[in-house]
Structure 1
Amino acid sequence: MITKQNPHILVVDDEEDLCEILKFNLETEGYTVDTAYSAEEALTLNLTDYDLLLLDVMMGEISGFKLASMLKKNEKTAHIPIIFLTAKDTENDMLTGFNLGADDYISKPFSIKQVQARVKAVLRRSLEEKKPVNENILTYNTLKLDTQRIKATINGEEVALTKKEFEILKLLLENINHVFSREEILSRVWKDEVYVLDRTIDVNITRLRKKIGEYGKNIVTRLGFGYCFEG
């Protein structure tokens, strides 16, 4: 099965039977699939809704190549990956497709398994490219928490935190303004450890506040409820 939940795919081909076959088989893989029987019909749709386009090259007045060119020139649709499905399989045709920004080029006739595998690969690459570079960095003003390198800094200066202090701060920064009860913090940070007292959490919070200096005041106590990082 695929990693992204219900990616939205548009199949554009003037062979209606082929569209329905592709739609059925891609939907069995967990995708949401729409079809259009011409480039003109495709252009009536909100193309920004789609995560991937499968385009036939040889269609009516507007070919798949022309449609791709139009989409790649529009900043709202330029990012959408495209796979060409076509009987035009010469080297020049393939180069034309890739020069237009295609992500893959599948020659007809093809097997459904081949299409499923190529679709999965293109969507995976597209998802990787969308990941933010700093996805492992939690930031609040000059307070930064690198969850990959397990490192906390303020104004670029490293702050020495214990494992539990780091995990508490990570939990709070990932959920700014969310109040966590002591029981929730215990279950998330101490997990299956036994004989951990509520007082242990209070001690760790007190130490954490001191260590993060000016940001200590952002860790607030909601009496009777628990703690939160107030942004």
Structure 2
Amino acid sequence: MDNPIPKILIVDDEKDLCEILEFNLSSEGFQTTVAHSAEQALKFSLDEFDLILLDVMMGGISGYKMADRIRKEMQLSVPIIFMTAKTAENDILTGFNVGGDDYISKPFSIKEMVARIKAVLKRGRQETGQVRVYKEGELEVDVNSKTVKIEDKIISLTRKEFEILTMLLKHQGQYISREEILNRVWSDDVIVTERNVDVNIARLRKKIGDYGNKIKGKSGFGYAFKN
């Protein structure tokens, strides 16, 4: 059976850029929809899209606020790639903190954008061949359905948090270095630092409550999920 055509939502108030992206991404085989503001984008059924390209600086609701709403209020895990001219480390960390999966700086080449989109979509398709469930007490991670539950209550995680938790549970008791986590969870062409790992771990610990205490950090070794 053929793979469905990936649906991408482009959210940016620069109409010329949207036209360029729409034309080039369509040429690459993607199905595109354009919104020129976060307000317009939020009227769509966002769970129908495979990926969102989201501008950070827009009039009205910013890209960061829209992403935060998608993750917290709507509890959707649709991948988000931020597009912005802001490249300071704090801006990049803010993007990841609100649930971004990747970050591309303006101006960018279409080739780079396509490569990042394909990398993010590929990660989302990995490990879906068979049902795989990792358990620790009442904590349950289902790799196939991409869900996390504690006492049958669904816990909303970003894609990065989910992948880190899955990795730690898969290698339970073993320390995994920050560098290895970066290499596995972030694509090779994404410029991030080990600080991104720490930020995601901190959020993950908070979200899974008492189980967060089992994520141990050890200087020079990395992180492990252990009793």
Q: 1:6 to 1:90 in 2, by over 3 A?
A: same
Q: 1:70 to 1:83 in 2, by over 3 A?
A: same
Q: Cα deviations across residues 80-134 of structure 1 (Å, max 9, x unaligned)?
A: 0000000111100000001111110000010000000000000000111555435
Query: 1:17 — aligned with what?
Result: 16
Amino acid at match of 2:85: A
Q: Secondary structure at the match of 2:122?
A: helix
> Is 1:74–2:73 an aligned residue pair?
yes
Q: Cα deviations across residues 25-84 of structure 1 (Å, max 9, x unaligned)?
A: 111111100000000000111111100000000001100000000000135x52100000
Residues 49-198 of structure 1 aligned to structure 2 (within 5 Å): 49-75=48-74, 77-128=75-126, 130-134=128-132
Structure 1 distance, partners of 2:81, 2:132, is 29
Q: 1:54 to 1:129 in 2, by over 3 A?
A: farther
Structure 2 distance, partners of 1:100, 1:130, is 25
Aligned-residue offset at 1:5: 2.7
Q: Secondary structure at the match of 2:5?
A: coil
Structure 1 distance, partners of 2:89, 2:3, is 33
Task: Name the TM-score, length of structure 2 as normaliser.
Answer: 0.55
Q: Secondary structure at the match of 2:60?
A: coil
Structure 2 distance, partners of 1:8, 1:131, is 21
Greater radius of gyration (CA): 1
Structure 2 distance, partners of 1:34, 1:53, is 10
Structure 2 distance, partners of 1:130, 1:97, is 27
Q: Does the 8 A contact of 2:47 with 2:76 survive in 1? A: no
Q: State the Cα RMSD in Å.
A: 1.8
Residues 17-36 of structure 1 aligned to structure 2 (within 5 Å): 17-36=16-35
The percentage of counterpart residues that share the same residue type is: 58
Structure 1 distance, partners of 2:127, 2:63, is 24
Which ranges of 4 or more aligned residues in structure 1 deviate by more than 2 Å?
A: 129-135
Task: Name the TM-score, length of structure 1 as normaliser.
Answer: 0.54
Structure 2 distance, partners of 1:115, 1:130, is 25
> Is 1:5–2:15 an aligned residue pair?
no
Q: Does the 8 A contact of 2:96 with 2:102 survive in 1? A: yes
Structure 2 distance, partners of 1:62, 1:131, is 38
Structure 2 distance, partners of 1:131, 1:94, is 33
Give the count of matched residue pairs.
132
Structure 2 distance, partners of 1:104, 1:8, is 17
